[in-house]
Structure 1
Amino acid sequence: MQMDEVENLGWRMPAEWSQHAATWMVWPHNQALWENTWGVTLAQVQQDFARVANAIARFEPVKMVVDPSALASAIALCGPRIELIPQAVNDSWCRDSGPSFIYHPQHGLAGVSWRFNAWGEKSAHEWDESLARRVLNHLGLVCFGTPLSNEGGAFHVDGEGTLITTESVLLNPNRNPGVTKADIEKVFARWLGIKKTIWLPGDPNYVTGDMTDGHVDGICAFARPGVLLVDATLDHCSVYAQVARENRRVLELATDARGRRFELIELYEASEAVDTGAEAFCASYSNFYIANGAIIMPAYGIAADQVAANVLGQAFPDREIVPVRINHLAHGGGGVHCITQQQPAWPVKG
């Protein structure tokens, strides 16, 4: 649906490849959650987070929110270029609980605090539901609240008016009962400057076991306007294969806000790395993060890592491709993009 007629106050969300002032992350500390729910030791997960943070810190500042109870481990593993910010938190998925940064040509930077309910009340979130507002307060930026239940991993934008999301997340009764696509598109148009929303089915039958219900950042990612890296699988008999085909079919037929059909570049998942004992193992190479001058990509210590790095190198010829091992983080269902949130530089460039 084109949203030219919907009121927009001049606010826009820049694409991830715009210049960053910093990357925000949240340090993992909830031992019971990681070890009892996901079956991986907290110490191993902290090492994965630290590897991601230290890799990003080569290219831009990293601001790490740390629950006061976990400061010692963060100090021990995070390098000197990472700023530690003590704040009470429940979990460690900054992409979802952190703010979505927006900008206005006259008013500068601000942020949107979505109504965060931990992916449909799946875990405790009494602290995380206010994290976006607290981050924006820390920066002295205006915070715009909205009753829409949403997470940062549920949508991608191209900076030119196009947004991609999934029906299985935003239309899920566990988030927004009774809310229509049109209602949601008006929110996106008003606060993110979106003119066209593309709706993928996501994971409508919840066959993957992913607690997010089908976040788009495990399905595809923009390389630039009109070009998408799309998650693909060589295992055509897997439960994910049909999900991937249905999402790809929608993208093949879609056009963006400027009327372009998408160029689709396949990124085959790290199927050899999957731990079948994990409740939901994130094997998606499309869950990478675009940092200043670099692509921080998930790596698993398998041959497919180099194949994915080659594809990303062709898609981003002007950026350094930096693989980071995340096997333990992936065992908990997440990837590099899930744990990072970009703060754009002002004025917005790129």
Structure 2
Amino acid sequence: MTWRMPAETARHERTWMAFPREGITLGDEASEREAGYAAWTAVAHAVAEFEPVTMVVDPGEAARARRMLGAHIDILEAPVDEFWMRDSGPTFVVDDERPGVLGAVDWIFNGWGAPAWAQWRLSAEHGRLVGAAAGAELVSSVLVNEGGGIQVDGEGTVLATETVQLDPRRNPYADRARVEAEFARTLGAEKVVWLPRGLTRDYDEFGTNGHVDIVAALPSPGVLLLHDQRDPAHPDNAVTRALRAHLETQTDAAGRSFEIVDLPAPATLRDGSGDDGGFVDWSYVNHLVVNDGVVACGFGEPEADGRAREVLERVYPGRRVVTVDAREIFARGGGIHCITQQQPAVAP
């Protein structure tokens, strides 16, 4: 069998999410917790305008979830600790030699390198749980990886980051060749394009150590969306310029140089928290493509949010772009792409 991860632009059967539960990620204060519940709910409702949504909900949060989500969001009750479905859940793949067959890659999830603060052992079961609920064949992997650590074009190109898959806290014995071989087996990768690092904030105590889905995306084969921090007062100004220079030398699985489309960052530089002095990693790259649409991150900046919608409408022609305020999600370590996982549709 030959597994392949389709591009996010392929038709979806549904989107999977996990509902927040009380713990360090959600927040200590009641107001913080309510803001987190509301942010995840807003994303679910936005996605449900385009395609079905199933939410994995811890039994202790079931009553709240049903009240907030409403009847049009499906609920699957199961234990939850971390609620970033992109990372703890499966990566769905298809087998082009067997039409109608769906696969679910079950990466090992250890809470982004098993930091002392993370509670991840319950959600580490979500790959198998969600895969089974979707009726997918299990594609078991011994690689510690998260869905936010990869981006694909559906035609053999995979973006990854050296500080994620090669992180000794994740895969102490891995090298590029081993990771690339596993991506070939599980994702159909023919070419892995390695980024040397991610955004600055992503390396603080609560970061992922460089997830690519906040930095770059592949809206279509040969086209690469890149986070563009234009303010020299932000350390990511130097980071994104270096990443652009690096990616200009790279080619995809078909041997094409990338057409790089810059996606400017919002104007806000700091949020007043974080070990790195509070420089934000707010990024419009962290969007979700859905059936006939795109769910984009918003940051309360009408001009920047509107400019991002225009770029996304251009690189995803024919899709309606809607913006959901993502500040409360980013305050907890990620964005809209990080809390969602698409299940591709397969022919019957």
Shorter-chain TM range is over 0.9
Query: When the two structures are superposed, what TM-score results if normalisation uses the length of structure 1?
Result: 0.92
2:83 pairs, out of 78, 92, 106, with: 92
Q: CA, structure 1 residues 145+112, in 2 after alignment: closer, same or farther (shift >3 Å)?
A: same
Structure 2 residue aligned with 1:79? 70
Alignment of 1:121 with 2:114, yes or no, is: yes
Contact 1:278 1:331 in 2 (8 A): no
Structure 2 residue aligned with 1:142? 137
The correspondence of residues 63-78 of structure 1 with structure 2, limited to 5 A, is 63-78=54-69
Write the letter of the residue equivalent to 2:224: L
Query: When the two structures are superposed, what TM-score results if normalisation uses the length of structure 2?
Result: 0.93
Structure 2 residue aligned with 1:312? 312
Q: How far off its partner does 1:276 sit?
A: 2.3
Q: How far off its partner does 1:127 sit?
A: 0.8
- Counterpart Cα distance in 1 of 2:269 and 2:35: 16
The correspondence of residues 278-317 of structure 1 with structure 2, limited to 5 A, is 278=274, 281-302=280-301, 303-317=303-317
Q: CA RMSD in A?
A: 2.0
Alignment of 1:228 with 2:224, yes or no, is: yes
Partner SS state of residue 249, structure 1: helix
Partner SS state of residue 8, structure 2: coil
Q: Which deviates more, 240-249 or 216-225?
A: 240-249
Q: How far off its partner does 1:39 sit?
A: 11
Q: How far off its partner does 1:130 sit?
A: 1.2
Q: CA, structure 1 residues 277+141, in 2 after alignment: closer, same or farther (shift >3 Å)?
A: same
Q: CA, structure 1 residues 207+340, in 2 after alignment: closer, same or farther (shift >3 Å)?
A: closer
- Counterpart Cα distance in 1 of 2:184 and 2:198: 25
- Counterpart Cα distance in 2 of 1:265 and 1:293: 21
Structure 1 residue aligned with 2:41? 50
- Counterpart Cα distance in 1 of 2:344 and 2:94: 9
Q: How far off its partner does 1:106 sit?
A: 3.9
Ranges in structure 2 where 5+ consecutive residues have no aligned partner = none
- Counterpart Cα distance in 1 of 2:82 and 2:294: 25
Q: CA, structure 1 residues 109+283, in 2 after alignment: closer, same or farther (shift >3 Å)?
A: same
- Counterpart Cα distance in 2 of 1:172 and 1:206: 17
Structure 2 residue aligned with 1:179? 174
Q: How far off its partner does 1:268 sit?
A: 1.1
Write the letter of the residue equivalent to 1:144: V
Q: How far off its partner does 1:145 sit?
A: 1.2
2:257 pairs, out of 250, 258, 261, with: 261
Q: Which deviates more, 241-250 or 227-236?
A: 241-250
Query: How much identity, in percent, do the aligned residues show?
Result: 38
Deviations 1:262-298 (A, max 9, x none): 1111111123274122557441000000000001000
Write the letter of the residue equivalent to 2:337: H
The correspondence of residues 146-225 of structure 1 with structure 2, limited to 5 A, is 146-203=141-198, 208-209=203-204, 211-225=207-221
Q: How far off its partner does 1:143 sit?
A: 0.9
- Counterpart Cα distance in 2 of 1:47 and 1:206: 24
Contact 1:285 1:308 in 2 (8 A): yes
Structure 1 residue aligned with 2:10? 18
Contact 1:168 1:204 in 2 (8 A): no
Write the letter of the residue equivalent to 1:261: S
Runs ≥4 residues deviating over 3 A: 203-208, 278-282
Q: CA, structure 1 residues 40+273, in 2 after alignment: closer, same or farther (shift >3 Å)?
A: farther
Q: CA, structure 1 residues 189+40, in 2 after alignment: closer, same or farther (shift >3 Å)?
A: farther
2:26 pairs, out of 29, 34, 55, with: 34
Q: How far off its partner does 1:31 sit?
A: 3.7
Structure 1 residue aligned with 2:53? 62
Q: Which deviates more, 264-273 or 183-192?
A: 264-273
Partner SS state of residue 129, structure 1: helix
Q: CA, structure 1 residues 250+156, in 2 after alignment: closer, same or farther (shift >3 Å)?
A: same
